[in-house]
Structure 1
Amino acid sequence: MFTIEHEFDATVITLVDDPAGHRQEDVTINAFEDCVTVEQFDPRTERPHKITLSFAQVADLAAALDLPEGAYKLGRPVKR
């Protein structure tokens, strides 16, 4: 399950881990004008963890979900 909200300065997507044997904390994705942040609360430390991605990194991640194992640049395999 997920929710989408449009805030003043960002689009906020929250991914809710549907009930399972070992449920993970919700993941919140904030899409700003210049970057995307991904946050998840850590119940062990009682603090959220946040990473920031550029839009190029988000595009690479989206492409990587549909590609086989390997190293890529701009959708092409990188020669090693």
Structure 2
Amino acid sequence: MFTIEHEFDATVITLIDEGHEGLQEDITISAFDDCITLEQVHPITQEPMVITLSMVQLRDLAAALDLPEGSYRIETRKA
């Protein structure tokens, strides 16, 4: 399950793990103009853990999901 909310400065997506054993804490993804943050509460310390991705890293991650093992560089074409 997931939710989507549009806030003033970001779109916030919350991924809710459900329906099986070994459930993980919810993940909140906030999409800003210049970066994406992923936040998850640590199940033992209850402290939030945050990862920030640049838009280039996000592009590379999206491409990597559909590629075989290897090393890649995505080159952008200039008009």
> Would you say same fold, with TM above 0.5?
yes
Name the Cα RMSD after superposition: 1.0
SS at match of 1:43: coil
2:30 aligns with 30
SS at match of 1:58: helix
Q: Tell me, in whole angstroms, the C-alpha distance in 1 between the residues paired with 2:43 and 2:22.
A: 14
Gaps of 5+ in 1: 76-80
1:42 aligns with 42
CA deviation after TM superposition for structure 1 residue 33, in Å: 1.1
Q: Tell me, in whole angstroms, the C-alpha distance in 1 between the residues paired with 2:18 and 2:71.
A: 32
CA deviation after TM superposition for structure 1 residue 46, in Å: 1.1
Gaps of 5+ in 2: none
Runs of 4+ in 1 over 2 A off after TM superposition: none
Matches within 5 A, 1:58-73: 58-73=58-73
CA deviation after TM superposition for structure 1 residue 18, in Å: 1.8
Using the size of structure 1 for normalisation, the TM-score is: 0.89
Q: Tell me, in whole angstroms, the C-alpha distance in 2 between the residues paired with 1:39 and 1:46.
A: 12
Q: Tell me, in whole angstroms, the C-alpha distance in 2 between the residues paired with 1:38 and 1:72.
A: 24
1:15 aligns with 15
Structure number with the higher strand fraction is 1
Counting aligned pairs with the same residue, the percent is 64
The amino acid across from 1:73 in the alignment is R
The amino acid across from 1:34 in the alignment is D
